[in-house]
Structure formats: C-alpha cells, structure tokens
Amino acid sequence: MDDVSQISEFGKILIFLITGIILVGLLFVTNRFLAPNNPNYEKQTSYECGEEPTGSAWLPFNSRFYVIALVFLLFDVEMVFVFPWATVFGNREIIQLDERWGWVSLIEMFVFLGILILGLAYVWRKGDLDWIKPTVVLPRTDALVPQSLYEKLNLEQSSFKVKEFSMEATIAIKEPAPVSSSEATAIKKPMFKPTFKKPANDA
C-alpha cells in the first residue's frame, strides 16, 4: 500500500510560516534579555550620516523624494527579473537542446526592458523627475497702450532727481507758542452757573 502524504502543499507552507514567526519571536526575546540597554543622549539622537543633527527632525518633506524612491524600486526590481533571465540565456545546455530558447529569451528581455524604458520616458516627459523650479510667467495685459509710450515714460522718469538718503532724522518738531503772563494768570469762568434746590421742610 502506497504511503499517502497527510499534509497538503498549503499545510507545508503554513508550517513554514509558523516556524519562521516563532524563530523571529525567539530572536527578539533573546535580544531583549541579552543585549545591553544603556540609553544616552548620543544614542537617542537622530542619525545624520555621522554629522551633528541640527534643528528638529519633524520637518516638511518634499514629495519628489517619494517619486524618486519609486523609480529606484522599479529598476531595483527589474534586476531581480534580469538575473534568472541571464542564467537561462547563458545556459549552453538549454540552447543546445533548442536554439530557439536563446532567441525567445533575448526578444523577451528586449520587450521587458522596452516597457520599463517607455514608463521612464513617460515619467521624464511629464516632469516628475524634475526638481521644483519656479516657472517664470511674464505678465500679460489686454491694454491698448503701445509699448513705445511706456518706454518714453520710463525715459522721462529717469531724468528726475532722487533725494539722497540720509541717516539723520528729518522730522520737524514744532515748538510750542509762547504764552504771555496775562493769559497764564487769567482764570476762565465756567460757562454755566450751578443752582441748588433747597429741600422742602416737612410740616
């Protein structure tokens, strides 16, 4: 009687995943108990490639870095597909069995690289790889005044003399008018005379 495997292929994958999770957890627990824990100021500062960090690490981050990182990942994953292709294309035994394998793999790699190059050209043409640069926008108006009139006005204004700048204060302070002795001694009378009512006597 033939032995039948009691575990399916998916069961083997599940056992592999559970074993990996347990081993990673054991490594973290072992690191927690055995690794030295001596935090200080130097260890808790943000890493700046060996330079002294200045300012706060919470700064606005340019989104263009994210696009460049995506392009890097695109071509990084491309190399993962190029390595197995190179092993097939460089295998003489496979090509000796059938010469069409070499041509098929070569055409397939050209198609693959062509798709990636088209994607890169699209991103480049769209301007996503360019850094943020201010675009110069010349102002335009619908005025009917000719340009020669503006130039003439500018020439006339250039003949005006500009007052030289001085650091000294030029604010004129008005002195108070002199007060005569008669005005100083005169006492103004009130404009109204107060009157007081006597309270009525109760009989």
9-126 topology per CATH: Methane Monooxygenase Hydroxylase; Chain G, domain 1 (1.20.58)
Q: Where are the domains of the chain?
A: 9-126
187 vs 64 pLDDT, higher one: 64
Is the pLDDT at 40 greater than 80? The verdict is: yes
Q: pTM of the entire structure?
A: 0.36
pLDDT per residue as tens digits for the range 66-123: 877 887 887 888 888 888 788 777 778 877 887 777 788 888 888 988 988 898 888 8
Question: Percent of the chain at pLDDT above 70?
Answer: 72
The reported pLDDT for the residue numbered 158 is 61
Report whether 57 contacts 46 (CB < 8 A): yes
CA distance 90 to 82: 12
Distance CA 71, CA 64 (A): 11
Give, rounded to a whole angstrom, the gap between the first and last alpha carbons of the chain: 141
Whole-number Cα distances in Å, 54 to 16, 44, 47, 61: 46, 14, 11, 16
